[in-house]
Structure 1
Amino acid sequence: MAGNGGETTWCFSQVKGTLEDDVTEADLISCVEFNHDGELLATGDKGGRVVIFQRDPASKQCVPKKGEYNVYSTFQSHEPEFDYLKSLEIEEKINKIRWLKRKNQAHFLLSTNDKTIKLWKVSERDKRVTGYNTREEGGRPRDPARITQLRVPTVKPADLMVEASPRRIFANAHTYHINSISLNSDQETYLSADDLRINLWHLEITDQSFNIVDIKPANMEELTEVITAAEFHPTECNLFVYSSSKGTIRLCDMRAAALCDRHAKLFEEPEDPHARSFFSEIISSISDVKLSNSGRYMMSRDYLGLKVWDLRMETKPVETYPVHEYLRSKLCSLYENDCIFDKFECCWSGDDQRLMTGSYNGFFRVFERGCGGARRGDLTLEASREAAARPRLPLRARRVAASAKRKKDEISVDCLDFNKKILHTAWHPHESIIAVAATNNLFIFQDKF
């Protein structure tokens, strides 16, 4: 959003994690996800841990509302494993977290590393039972000879405990690394995708899944593309999309056949032959695809930008938003330091009117749809210690100069820190509250108004 004179109205709310320079690899945040009502916010890290934050009740009552969260639960979701058949170590890093819609007092979420998906139940316990007949208060069995009377156990208040327990473990179904999981709108099934296959699971069945997409060629030397992301349609339980490293997105209908090897629609933007280079195929690879909350549009993120597609038009995107156009001249050095292979995610605002994705130097981008041209609604913001030192004050919009000539308030493209990557972001489903993962820190920002 933009205010008078293009001044941003986004302001810093909170930062979670220590603002220290010495950060261990295990503490790096690898995914961020709000639940369906925005009351909970979960992060996964490279150490296999899941941290859940809960909205502070007082922050919702004040005027204006504040987007403040407190730690609710922390648990170890995955441990490092070793595949002895392939002599490969399986990292504990959490690749994705997906919340189930709440049906009772407990919360449920799916988390996955490269190979194993787990369904977790997160529940509260604020009462304890006392007055057992057959055991002591500490749980030790009582001597039957000393039981001389029967007592009626009573329930008493106790300190609040939040427990996370694994309810299902879905394993041994993927040969390659899992890059996506997505819950179906029926809340009974979900899909998991790796480089070459997509499987369909039922939440109650752990030992069986159905392969619904298989792009593995008979001869692996003929392999030309891999699956990069997959997601179910938000309302139509038979539809899902998946993106590829060749810059294409396929929409599949599970009613057509058991194996969706034939897509219902193919979304692909024709390549400009004059702009083709050695890097064309790498930068056209889609790192993330997200369907809008309404289900009419979808957004894809490639290395240089965002594209919005109308599901009713396959030939070209209806909107294009440049994110890294100033890096086009730096592709050679980005290839050498492997940054060109970074997988940036993207997300929609709850009303589908704004888009967000990450960049380098601690920068992230917020685009307001339908503003046209060099828009006031195109913002580059920074998740930094400087922002954390100015709570409640509007964030300063940042600008990157592509050439050597730069204005006073611009930063040169040569001065960008490519180690400070914003790969994972999330948007509150109903309010203007955003969560941005910056290395081991989770920054929370909100619209000032």
Structure 2
Amino acid sequence: DRISTVEFDKSGDYVAVGDRGGRIVIFETKDGKNTADQHYSRNQLEQLDYVSLNHPEYRYKTEFQSHEPEFDYLKSLEIEEKINKLKWCTSLSGSLFILSTNDKTIKLWKVKDRKVKKAREIDSPHQLLSSENTLLSERSFMNEQGIPSFANGNHVESGANSIFPSQEPRSKIANYEDTAYARCRRVYAHAHDFNINSLSNNSDGETFISADDLRINLWNLEVSNQSFNIIDMKPSNMEELTEVITSAEFHPIHCNLLAYSSSRGFIRLVDMRQSALCDYSARIFQDEECHGSRSFLTEIVASITDIKFPVDGRHILSRDYMNLKLWDMHMDSSPVATFKIHEHLRPKLCDLYNNDSIFDKFECCLSGDGLHFATGSYSNLLRIFFHGGGSDEGATIEASKDPNWLAASFLSLISS
């Protein structure tokens, strides 16, 4: 199945991948005992202006089925299992927590490592233990109570009796292996009439928001049957609808602040302390130069598809169809930097509208130090920019199956 979303945790040690089939696959960094930078996290290395010569390598950890296809009988609507968004939560007692959502339902998953005892039966204790030919069966169990274990959701059964009918006495060798299993802790459902497009965790570690086209709801992680509607843009008459919500994000430091973007090219910053319903107490960020002379096509490409906060919370990074923009929290009249992505497509907007390419959505992300920005483009191209580098051109890297080539290109960008 095709990948629909990717999310790194804050440390960079884990990455979760969601696909259109409703699965979540989790990878973790390989053991770095022989590397020189083993005592530093990736964020610390970036703060120290240190560049690792080896690109990070991830290995498979576990996978599980997060969502299944559903059918809404009241609305006669099929709900597909595609994972729209993933968000890592605060890790507790060695366990990983991750939020996942499809169009309607949000789930909280707990991923935990557990020692699994595996017993191997051999024909005779006098044979060499290292010989693979002596392996007759493999049976797994998690504890002394005889509860069967599951490896990524599949029950492991022994087929020794059907393959080797011999009744000779066998010896057992037991060893312990680390395995990860996922368990659904909470299901947050029946709160959105439209498709969910955003999830964001609060810095308080207790709440999160979910956003669809017209509403933003506030949830408590421990309460799945109740949410608070804090933003509602649905008009009394749907014919008067002029814009929809495209993305929403909590401030990384101040738990009372959140920002959301709209299809009209606005970014609204709201303070939840001012009002229970935050629709009318927002501070609006808009590019006055772009909103001077507008046409039907320029309004479409001005729609903001994604916003992100850096770790310091001082700026907001936004992406529309044409540009990547960096906003200062203290200046809402214009962005402090504009990085052109699709300026060469401006003469072809009519053709892009006819084939619906003008409605394509692109996301953006920031590095741990908040100085490097990345976003996607067509033809497997990745655009990377450096704030304060003296040039807005950035670098263009083509996605390659060879990670060494990609890492070398990124290192050359940093050095230049």
User: Structure 1 length as normaliser, TM-score?
Assistant: 0.74
| 8 Å CA contact retained: 2:116, 2:142 | no
Name the SS for the 1:279 alignment partner. helix
Name the SS for the 2:223 alignment partner. coil
1:267 aligns with 2:281: no
Change over 3 Å in CA distance of 1:447–1:49 after alignment to 2: farther
1:5 — aligned with what? none
2:70 — aligned with what? 81
Give the greater-gyration-radius structure (CA): 2
1:46 aligns with 2:46: no
Change over 3 Å in CA distance of 1:178–1:374 after alignment to 2: closer
1:37 — aligned with what? 11
Name the SS for the 2:194 alignment partner. coil
2:14 and 2:20 mapped to 1: Cα distance? 20
Q: Counterpart amino acid of 2:397? A: L
1:102 and 1:138 mapped to 2: Cα distance? 26
Change over 3 Å in CA distance of 1:267–1:65 after alignment to 2: same
Identity of aligned residues (%): 52
1:395 aligns with 2:409: yes
| 8 Å CA contact retained: 2:311, 2:370 | yes
Cα deviation code 1:30-51 (max 9, x no counterpart): 1111112111011111111111
1:384 — aligned with what? 400
Cα shift at 1:338: 1.5
Name the SS for the 2:234 alignment partner. coil
1:200 aligns with 2:201: no
The more displaced of 261-270 and 231-240 is 261-270
1:124 and 1:347 mapped to 2: Cα distance? 29
For the aligned residue pairs, the C-alpha RMSD in angstroms reads 2.5
2:184 — aligned with what? 166
1:290 aligns with 2:303: no
1:137 and 1:365 mapped to 2: Cα distance? 50
Change over 3 Å in CA distance of 1:255–1:138 after alignment to 2: closer
1:23 — aligned with what? none
Cα shift at 1:160: 1.9
The 5 Å alignment of 1:46-125 reads: 46-58=20-32, 61=35, 64-125=53-114
Cα deviation code 1:279-325 (max 9, x no counterpart): 11110000001111100000110000111111111111111110111
2:83 and 2:370 mapped to 1: Cα distance? 27
1:371 and 1:361 mapped to 2: Cα distance? 26
Q: Counterpart amino acid of 2:32? A: A
Name the SS for the 1:58 alignment partner. coil
Change over 3 Å in CA distance of 1:281–1:138 after alignment to 2: closer
| 8 Å CA contact retained: 2:382, 2:399 | yes
Name the SS for the 1:119 alignment partner. strand
Cα shift at 1:373: 4.2
**Structure 1 consecutive aligned stretches of length 4 or more whose deviation exceeds 6 Å:** 135-139, 445-449
Greater length-normalized contact order (CA 8 Å, ≥ 6 residues apart): 1
1:114 and 1:270 mapped to 2: Cα distance? 34
Cα shift at 1:121: 0.3
Change over 3 Å in CA distance of 1:448–1:160 after alignment to 2: farther
1:301 aligns with 2:319: yes
| 8 Å CA contact retained: 2:400, 2:406 | no
2:274 and 2:358 mapped to 1: Cα distance? 37
| 8 Å CA contact retained: 1:252, 1:265 | yes
| 8 Å CA contact retained: 2:245, 2:263 | yes
Cα shift at 1:337: 1.8
Cα shift at 1:104: 1.4
User: Structure 2 length as normaliser, TM-score?
Assistant: 0.80
2:98 and 2:10 mapped to 1: Cα distance? 11
Change over 3 Å in CA distance of 1:58–1:392 after alignment to 2: farther
2:408 and 2:76 mapped to 1: Cα distance? 51
Name the SS for the 1:207 alignment partner. strand
| 8 Å CA contact retained: 1:191, 1:200 | yes
1:359 and 1:329 mapped to 2: Cα distance? 17
